[in-house]
Amino acid sequence: MDDCDRFRRNRSDEEDFCWARRRRSVVQTALGDLYVSRNKPFPGGRARSHFLRGPGEGPKTAATPYKVITLNSWEEYLSIISDSPYQNWAFRGQRDASAPLFSALSRYFMAFQVDPRAWPEQEKRILRIFKRKAIHFLQHVPDRDDDFQWLALMQDHGAPTRLLDFTWSPYVAAFFALQ
């Protein structure tokens, strides 16, 4: 039985779930060419930064999705990020090198043991509540139907979303990795 078959009773849930699954597979396909590398410990703690290359600039095999670089000093970090290949990369700083990349919303749902099949509906609920309340507190809000802009606004205000923060600055990534 396909996951979409489970939602035959409620047509809108089925469409949303199936659309999300198809979209997820499209996103995974699009991300297939991204190259990720991790930095491990600086003195005084474990840290990593993810370096993501644009399409076509990374390895073509899924066998090596990232490269581990062990650093012993800030000078080594500076020498690595000053190389030209890294200038057009997006960075993510994360303190715990063993922690998987989960969005704040995913961590929230997992902490409260929400059934993963209910995540899309719960996300819609959170988004709907935020939209309803934001218009009372913010002067400039996105168009009602622009969910991506709403998610970015929610992320900016500390609400749990499915978005992950990345930065163009390796220094900002290092700040969060060492925090």
Closest CA to 139 of 153, 124, 118, 158: 153
Tens of each residue's pLDDT in the chain, 179 residues: 444 444 444 444 444 444 444 433 333 333 333 323 333 333 333 334 444 433 444 434 444 456 667 788 899 888 888 876 777 778 888 887 677 888 999 999 999 999 999 999 999 999 999 999 998 999 999 999 999 999 999 999 989 999 988 888 888 988 988 88
Cα–Cα distance for residue pair 77/42, rounded to 1 Å: 9
The residue behind tokens 């099949």 is: 117
